[in-house]
């Protein structure tokens, strides 16, 4: 008696299952690697004080403006 289930598991069908498992693990591994690699390059968000310091360092603000804006930020 010829059984289709026996030919699926004991014939060449196991090659398809191994290929499917390989693709599943390699896809998950690739996703995990790219997810962790891209997380390294996420830049922290700048706050108002950081932006104010950068503008003062570039010379966009004079000393009086810088201290006035810094006082306004700390009052919030």
Q: What is the mean pLDDT of residues 20-44?
A: 86
pTM given for the model: 0.43
Sketch the domain layout of the chain as residue ranges.
4-39, 43-76
Sign of the Cα torsion 10, 16, 17, 19 reads positive
What one-character DSSP code corresponds to residue 2?
-
pLDDT in tens, 36-76: 877 777 667 788 999 999 999 999 999 999 999 999 998 86
């Amino acid at each position: 008696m010829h059984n289709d289930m026996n030919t699926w598991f004991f014939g060449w069908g196991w090659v398809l299952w191994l290929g499917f498992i390989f693709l599943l693990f390699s896809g998950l591994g690739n996703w995990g690697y790219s997810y962790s690699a891209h997380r390294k390059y996420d830049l922290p968000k700048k706050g108002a004080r950081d932006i104010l310091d950068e503008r003062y360092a570039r010379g966009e603000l004079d000393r009086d403006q810088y201290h006035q804006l810094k006082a306004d930020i700390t009052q919030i």
